[in-house]
Chains A and B, each alone.
Chain A
Amino acid sequence: MTAFPLTQKLERSATVFLAVVAAAGILLPLLNLLLPDSSPLHVPTYLISLFGKYVCYAILALSIDLVWGYCGILSLGHGAFFALGGYAMGMYLMRQIGPRGVYANPILPDFMVFLNWKSLPWYWQGFDMFWFAAIMVLLVPGLLAFCFGWLAFRSRVTGVYFSIITQAMTYALLLAFFRNDFGFGGNNGLTDFKDILGFSLQADGTRAALFAASCLALALGFLICRSVVNSKLGKVLLAIRDAESRTRFLGYRVESYKLFVFTLSACLAGVAGALYVPQVGIINPSEFAPGNSIEAVIWVAVGGRGTLIGAALGAFAVNYAKTMFTSGALAPYWLFLLGALFVFVTLLLPKGLLGTFYAWWDNRVARRGANAPSTNNAEDPAYFADDAVKPHMAE
């Protein structure tokens, strides 16, 4: 039934997904670096960075699906964890600038010199080391999620009330990070990055490597989420989603389970943010905007919640559409379109794109099995939808 989490056999859909992510992570950088600009197959660097951004969004979507799709916790504040991971990486990149800043201060970032600060605040210590920043990328969002979740879940704040306080959380952080004296560059945020681990951020090679790293993170993130939802703990999460008090009366400490999955999800969102910042070259307080978190939830709804893969696909699809629309004459109507998309998906495709596909596939297999029982191979229905945890919601 369930083998050891990370080594368990992949179902077909997971294999396809991982193969696509791996192929993209290897092929696109190679097509960018090895082919001359004149070649029709050459992938321009701006596309590498754009796709890199999408991959980071896909990781964020994965983290939201883990809590929302499987445990029923609708967080409308995951953008905050994403941004905190981004800030942790941004702080490292700021310290890497060193004396190359406008004010040429070897220690202090430009904005601190501008504010007449004499020394580095304590919370900026250590960020000149990559390993330290990397730990903070996980630790800061994880710790915030742990404290926030501990208070909220222990007091049994659920449903829409929880969603609202997560919005308040990200809004509070937005306001805090806007302040100059908070020490994170205020309104402008952190930018003008020069290099990462000694490699120039402007170099094609670095951009390709960051893209490949994002794909690797997406694949690993997917495998981790999948092993969680396919374990017995995953069944408990579904149980909490579908009948929370029943789960309590069975003796499960619902708040511990929620806390675990919420913290894990926040760490994953932090990694997404950390990979995002070097690829877009800036992190500022607008990443905490409540609307960002809501948009990320829409990606998951569009792709299909409770499917993991669908969440990643939804992030790609919606953001690709956003890039298309906001670069043309339709740009002013993008938000209307996004809203309409959400309404459309909620009303007509409650399972999202992938969930609907799975349902259609199951149906097809069932019908084929009914028509030709003699050829009904036991392996066959398990073609696409044999995820140990069925992603399909009960009707």
Chain B
Amino acid sequence: MIAADSRRTSALLYLDGVHVSFDGFHAINNLSLTIAPGEMRAIIGPNGAGKTTMMDIITGKTRPDEGDVLFDGRTDLTRLDEAEIAELGIGRKFQKPTVFESQSVDDNLLLALRDDRRVNATLFWRPKASGAERIDEILETIRLKDSRHALAGSLSHGQKQWLEIGMLLAQNPKLLLVDEPVAGMTDVETHQTAELLKTINRDKTVIVVEHDMTFVRELGVKVTCLHEGSVLAEGSIDQVSENERVVEVYLGR
């Protein structure tokens, strides 16, 4: 699964000594994390451990008070805004599925498709065959081919999660940040999502935040446990779940 370590030695995402506090509350406290190109990493941790804040930092929504956040070994993410970071190749799926509910599934993917994002280019945009093909492929991958003309708002919860993952794919990012992809999904859907993420991981780097330990186990990747804004434990799922501190603060006895 983690076959890409040999591809490059430098990290795709590198966080070092990151601090963020909101009104005196240290949401992120000396967080250091390294994600290798092609890796899939699962992030676990109790509520308030800083998982979502970490995503906010990586995607430019929150600026860290101090620390380095480097992408691809050279780009300083702390200086860029959301749109620039997205253009750079970092896609994000929100905790609560967020799709454009009043538009069709097709249009949702079209909006996400990698293309010129400038105002004039969008105003005079014309459909391209390559784009339509790519949307067909993605619809196939996320199993929504039959509802392509339906309004995204009419999809089931699980389908919205998938559509949002599809939108990430359409962006064609190098790094996908996926926040709680299986929340509210049935067991079958959870299993399918694990398969889907594994497929995506064949050519993209993925960070998954998830509470569902069965799902994390099914992914079978390196796990990082966050607690109070810093890394508590890191390793295989078995190593991490045997760690006493992890058991104490998160998994419970």
Tell me whether B86 and A231 are in contact (CB under 8 A): no
Q: Which chain B residues numbered 77 to 133 have a C-beta less than 8 Å away from chain A?
A: 81-83, 86-87, 91-92, 94, 98-103, 107, 110-112, 117-119, 122-127
Contact (A228, B102) CB under 8 Å given A248-B86, A250-B171: no
A250 contacts B151, CB within 8 Å?
A: no
Contact of A243 among B82, B99, B118 (CB under 8 A): B99
- Complex contacts, B111 vs chain A, CB 8 Å: 232, 235-236, 239, 247, 250
Q: Which residue of B lies closest to A390 (CB)?
A: B102
Give Cα distance in the complex from A245 to B102, angstroms.
16
Interface string of A221-256 (1 = CB under 8 A from B): 000000010011101101100110111111111101
User: How many A residues have CB within 8 A of the partner chain?
Assistant: 32
Asked if A257 lies at the interface with its beta carbon under 8 angstroms from chain B, I say yes
Report the separation of the CA atoms of residues A5 and B61 in the bound assembly, to the nearest whole angstrom: 34
Contact of A249 among B86, B102, B107, B126 (CB under 8 A): B86
A348 is an interface residue with CB less than 8 A from chain B: no
**A-B contact number at CB 8 A:** 93
Asked whether A245 and B61 contact (CB < 8 A) given A250-B111, A250-B112, A394-B153, the answer is yes
CB distance from A278 to the nearest CB of B (A): 32
Minimum Cβ distance to chain A for residue B132 (Å): 9
Whole-angstrom CA separation of A4 from B125 in the bound complex: 9
Report yes or no: B117 in contact with A239, Cβ–Cβ below 8 A: no
Residues in A351-395 with C-beta less than 8 Å from chain B: 390, 392-395
Q: Which residue of A lies closest to B89 (CB)?
A: A251
A2 interfacial contact with B, CB 8 Å? yes
Complex interface bits, B163-176 against A, C-beta within 8 A gives 1, otherwise 0: 00001000100000
A394 touches B87 (CB 8 A): no
Is the CB–CB distance between A235 and B119 below 8 Å?
Answer: no
Verify if B29 is at the interface (C-beta below 8 Å from A).
no
When the two chains form their complex, are residues A243 and B153 in contact, meaning their CB atoms are under 8 A apart? no
Does chain B have a CB within 8 A of A17? no
User: Is A233 in contact with B119, judged by CB distance below 8 angstroms?
Assistant: yes
Contact: A394 with B83, CB < 8 Å? Answer: no
Task: Name the contact of B83 in the complex, choosing from A1, A4, A252 (C-beta under 8 A).
Answer: A252
Instruction: Known contacts A231-B124, A394-B151; decide if A243 and B98 are in contact (CB<8 Å).
Output: yes
- A246 to B98, Cβ gap below 8 A? yes
A242 is contacted by which of B61, B86, B100, B125 (Cβ under 8 Å)?
B100
A260 lies within 8 A of chain B by Cβ: yes
Query: Chain B contacts of A246 at CB under 8 A?
Result: 94, 98-100
Specify which of B86, B103, B126 is in contact with A251 (CB 8 Å cutoff).
Answer: B86
In the complex, residue of chain A having the shortest beta-carbon distance to the beta carbon of B125: A232
**B241 contacts the other chain (CB 8 A):** no
How far, in Å, is B88 (CB) from chain A's closest CB? 9
- Chain A, Cβ-Cβ closest to B171: A250
Instruction: Tell me the smallest distance from the CB of A307 to a CB of chain B, in Å.
Output: 13
Asked if B83 and A232 sit within 8 Å, CB to CB, the answer is: no
B59 in the interface, Cβ–Cβ < 8 Å? Answer: yes
Q: How far, in angstroms, from A243 to B99 measured CA to CA in the complex?
A: 7
Residues of B contacting A392 in the complex (Cβ-Cβ under 8 angstroms): 102
Report B35 CB to chain A, min CB distance, Å: 19
Please, how many angstroms separate the alpha-carbon atoms of A233 and B124 in the complex? 8
Asked whether B82 lies within 8 Å of A238 as measured between CB atoms, the reply is no
Interface residues of A in 247-298 (CB under 8 A from B): 247-254, 256-257, 260
Question: How near does chain B come to A230, taking the closest CB pair, in angstroms?
Answer: 11
User: In the bound complex, how far is the Cα of B60 from the Cα of A253, in angstroms?
Assistant: 13
Q: Which of A1-16 contact B (CB under 8 A)?
A: 1-2, 4-5
Nearest 4 pairs of A and B residues by beta carbon: A251-B86, A394-B153, A232-B125, A394-B101
A-B contact pairs, 7 of them (CB 8 A): A2-B125, A5-B124, A232-B111, A248-B83, A251-B87, A254-B83, A390-B102
